[in-house]
Amino acid sequence: MLSLDAARRQTDALFRLVRPEALYERPIPERHRLIFYLGHLEAFDWNLIGRYALGRPAFHESFDRLFAFGIDPAPGQLPADSPADWPRVEEVESYRRRVREEIDRLLPEAPEQLRHVALEHRLMHAETFAYILHQLDYGKKIPGGAGPRAAAAAETPPPRGSDAMLRIPAGTARLGRAPGEGFGWDNEFPEMLVEVREFAIAPYKVTNREYLEFVREGAAPPFFWISRGGEWFWRGMWEEIPLPLDWPVYVTYDEATAFARWCGMRLPSEAEWQRAACASRPSANADFRGWDPIPVYEGEGGPSQMIGNGWEWTATAFAPFPGFQPFPFYPNYSEPFFDGQHYVLKGGSPRTARCLLRPSFRNWFRPAYPYIYATFRLVTD
């Protein structure tokens, strides 16, 4: 298991990419200001391990509360706080140092399950903060790695359409984790077996090239595209580049389903996706290997890149498996989102930690949320 100290280095490196004066910016309207995330990771660890598990007294109770929870507002209910509502950076940094000192001293006493929670929560936020940072103006970021590598378009892309679909025979899809199989989040339990009818799945994620045809037919362009002088560009983490046609298209659930209808196909259910991916290995573009996608055709035979290079939308609304029990120490991790307004994503992105690439892990977002590294592939009966 990756150590908490190593995970801290991962998130600390992200904060060093933000110019200090930009820490009070809100790059994504539906999320907190950047200063929240600076305090949140330590507040979570302290509230979980110091306060909940080991009953230690608070040393800064107001910060424990202020930095406790992120937000996921309903459409049209954006936060309205101002920079003046947040503490000074120096105060937050002092809180972080003190928390780390306390956690490092207490960690050997913490239950193993909670150590896993602290680690994976931080690594999830390493991806969350990356896609938030992606939306920060270029001038407010300190370049911290290679920019997007402009991939040449394939001279002859592999065949697409119904003649290229891969048949997946009827059978059982295994969702979730069995007791004793190792750490998982509450929504991964209990294990559930689902019988799946035969279906066909695309060997690759849908590309920018394919989605461009949809846009030319009148669809709105995806959030990560920008038009300049009649040409399309990709808004990468560090710069804009001409739209790489063979990269997977990043879209919302609503856009993915609209494209699928336009093609006369659909998105896979979570169980179908799981059955198609049962023998897949992580792609080369995962576990913080890059900032942006790589061509969908790079990798082993199909279905290719089901794990990594972009989360994949499914048609399944996020819901509990029968017998679900919320974590008593983190009851609001999953349960508030079993509302029919969030959809399951599977696989992983370039910024997803390796431990979160396990087959049972479930991600979820609102259907119109455009900022995440989310792709899709098509299926048909």
Question: Which neighbouring-strand residues pair with 228?
Answer: 231
Quote the pLDDT of residue 1: 57
DSSP annotation of 297: T
**What is the distance between the terminal CA atoms of the chain, rounded to a whole angstrom?**
40
Q: How crowded is the C-beta side of 201, counted as CA atoms within 13 Å? A: 29
Q: Which residue has the tokens 């065949």?
A: 159
| Distance in angstroms (rounded) separating the CA atoms of residues 160 and 203 | 9
> One-letter amino acid identity for 245?
L
- Helices 112-134, 4-15: axis angle to 10 degrees equals 20
DSSP assignment of 174-243: EES--TTS----GGG-S-EEEEE--EEE-SSPPBHHHHHHHHHTTPPPPTTEEEETTEEEEE-SS-EEE-
Would you call 260 helix, strand, or coil by DSSP? helix
Quote the pLDDT of residue 284: 86
| Distance in angstroms (rounded) separating the CA atoms of residues 341 and 259 | 20
pTM above 0.85, yes or no: yes
| Distance in angstroms (rounded) separating the CA atoms of residues 35 and 84 | 11
What's the pLDDT tens digit per position in 284-293? 899 999 899 9
Quote the pLDDT of residue 155: 45
Query: Which ranges of the chain have pLDDT less than 50?
Result: 148, 150-156
What's the pLDDT tens digit per position in 2-32? 799 999 999 999 999 999 999 999 999 999 9
CB-based contacts of 329, cutoff 8 Å, min separation 6 = 48, 52, 53, 114, 117
Task: Look at the alpha carbons of 324, 330, 336, 340 in this order and tell me if their dihedral is positive or negative.
Answer: negative
Cβ atoms of 119 and 1 closer than 8 Å = yes
Question: Which neighbouring-strand residues pair with 328?
Answer: none
Quote the pLDDT of residue 74: 84
Domains of the chain in sequence order? 4-140 (1.20.120.450), 162-380 (3.90.1580.10)
